[in-house]
A and B are shown apart, each in its own frame.
Chain A
Amino acid sequence: MSMDIRVEELKDKSLWEPIPESEKMGAEALTAPQVTFWGDVWRRFRKNRLAVIGLVLLVIILLFALVGPLVSPYPYDKQDYNAILEPPNFAHPFGTDYVGRDLFTRVMYGARISLAVGFLAAMVQLVIGVLYGGISGFMGGKVDEIMMRIVDIMYAIPILLIVILLMVVLGPGLVNIFLALGFFYWLGMARIVRSQILTLKEEEFVLAARVLGASTKRLLLRHLIPNAMGPVIVTVTLNIPNAIFTEAFLSYIGLGVSAPMASLGSLASDGVEYIRTAPWLMLFPALTIALIALAFNFVGDGLRDSLDPRLRR
């Protein structure tokens, strides 16, 4: 056949002009400043104004919820019959309720509960959800099949039913809500992590680690889970307001904390009665719930955009 590419010629070094030794390194040099993955994420996150506003808002709310009650001159359950249903003023920025309790302090306590619920939901997702999904996706086959069917079945149970059942067994209280949320909030995460792991485990860098003889533990902890973290973090932040809303809703219909403790949901529920005479009782707790949810959503959206690898240069 007449298709000779002259191999001998290619091998003849005299036909090539060697690059001088001094220029060789120049060709390999990396001139761009060194950026770590998280440095890059932070750079993009900062550019997103809404996300930064959300983050600042969250920090402020967190400070108020954690430190506020400690420095407030009014205990959350202190009744003051000389100051019943006062509108917002300098002594009581959010006004007082029907027995003269300072609403600002009570809202800060309520925010505490909301944030605690959010924190719990995040923890349950990160620990149970990530591990469950990770194992299911990594093992594959029958194990995966069974683990995912369990998730499907749990998905079909309404959360309200569980809370009411728990209330029958344990009596009313915040514990019920915590248990019910803990019971449910890892399900979505397990699905997301599983699908991430399923795609990642066929990636060549994972195969390369397997060819090197990496153990299952190393594969999961060093290769698979770190690379699934992006969607995980986004899901966590976007699910937190969801959990906070659920708690507020359950408290609103009276399944949550009992008096004199306050959560944002029960405060709003109490305020409804006075909506004509003292609208601030309903307004401030509701506004706080909305602000918390909004802040988490802004941060979540910002994180999603800055973690998305498709936006990389």
Chain B
Amino acid sequence: MSKNVILKIENLKTWFPVTGGFPKKVVGYVKAVDGVSFEVYEGETLGIVGESGCGKTTLGRTIVRLYKPTDGKIWFKNEELTHLSDKELLPYRRKIQMVFQDPYASLNPRMTVAEIIGEALDIHKLYKTKEERQERIYQLLETVGLVREHANRFPHEFSGGQRQRIGIARALAVQPELIVLDEPISALDVSIQAQVVNVLIDLQEKYGLTYLFIAHDLSMVRYISDRVIVMYLGNVVEEAPSRELFRKPLHPYTEALLSAVPIPDPKIARQRKRIILQGEVPSPLNPPPGCPFSTRCPYAKDICFKEKPQLKEVGGRKVACHFPLE
């Protein structure tokens, strides 16, 4: 795989102000994404995992600039996107697209499929004649395994899997290079998940797409990702090639996450050790002063409560822990 960096995130922070009182004052910040750095290489699939509320979705939405980052930098190839205005951002909107989580909410119920996909073409003026536009819509539908007869139908007439593929077709319409997939399959039936994932994999091979695959389903992440980032409370705690991460986690949180993956073999399932974390995820309004995981970590020592560990290299992978697992 080529090692060209397509997307680079530097110390990205997205904080949401919390207001209260009269007149309104900012009383605190929800630190949804709190200093995240990583790189995405061309043509790879980078998985981002973590439990609900750890900032995965916020991170994805900040990368496509739906949210304004509080601090840090976003680089796409050699251009910094962090502070571009909506107008300046338009050419990059073509390069970075997003597929959303809920196939029932991500398509405008008042528009036909042709209008939904056509809108992408309209905004970026990607056709010269009406016929070309129509042809392109048909072509996109067929790319995701739908048929041209579907063009004049409304979203509510489709199944969840079909809708999600319409969402993928919409993202593909502008010929992006990077697609942020925000839990694209977690709202689908298990039987349909494979169908959508296979469409995604085929498209990646065909168009050389780069994926940022946000999910909480670890087995699916393992199947599709080349590398995986584990997030906890707005921080990256571990970054590693997929195979190695699943073989041998270095961060105690990753270890606990992996131990929760169901195994389709009761014999093995009964033998393995499950790590059950105590307590709740701390509030991102008021994260612990030291390591974000210190309040629930079974191995935590004094330093963990005082000093926040930085993400550092350990044998070709990265982990943010004072005492990485051996």
Contacts and interface: CB of A to CB of B under 8 A. Distances in A.
Interface residues of A, number: 36
Given A1-B248, A2-B268, A3-B261, A208 B100 contact: yes
A212 interface: yes
Q: Which of A5, A36, A37, A205 has the most CB of B within 10 A?
A: A205
B136 interface: no
B157 A208 contact: no
A211 B124 CA distance: 12
B157 A30 contact: yes
A145 B19 CA distance: 13
Contacts of A34: 152-153, 157
Given A207-B100, A211-B98, A227 B123 contact: no
A312 B156 contact: yes
Contact of A227 (B66, B96, B108, B222): B108
Interface residues of B, number: 56
A253 interface: no
B150 A30 contact: yes
Given A1-B247, A1-B248, A209 B89 contact: no
Contacts of A312: 156
A65 B105 CA distance: 45
A30 B223 contact: no
Interface string A279-313: 00000000000000000000000000000010010
Interface stretch (A46-54, A118-126, A218-226): A218-226
Interface in A248-301: none
Given A28-B162, A212-B93, A212-B174, A5 B106 contact: no
Interface string A70-82: 0000000000000
B271 A2 contact: yes
Given A2-B268, A3-B261, A208 B167 contact: yes
A25 interface: yes
Contact of A214 (B123, B157, B162): B123
B124 A25 contact: no
A24 B145 CA distance: 9
Binding site of A, secondary structure by majority: helix, strand, loop or mixed? helix
Contacts of B106: 204-205, 207-208
B220 to A, nearest CB: 10
Nearest to B224: A7
Contact of B146 (A5, A28, A212, A215): A28
A223 B272 CA distance: 51
Contact of A213 (B123, B152, B246): B123
Contact of B272 (A2, A28, A209, A227): A2
26 contacts: A1-B246, A1-B247, A1-B248, A1-B259, A3-B259, A5-B219, A5-B263, A25-B147, A28-B150, A28-B162, A34-B157, A35-B157, A37-B109, A208-B106, A208-B107, A209-B119, A210-B66, A211-B64, A212-B119, A212-B124, A212-B174, A213-B86, A213-B89, A213-B93, A214-B119, A226-B110
Given A5-B263, A211-B64, A213-B93, 13 more contacts: A1-B247, A28-B150, A35-B157, A37-B109, A205-B109, A209-B119, A211-B66, A212-B93, A212-B170, A214-B123, A215-B123, A222-B119, A223-B108
Interface of A: 1-3, 5, 7, 10, 24-25, 28-30, 32, 34-37, 145, 203-205, 207-215, 218, 222-223, 226-227, 309, 312
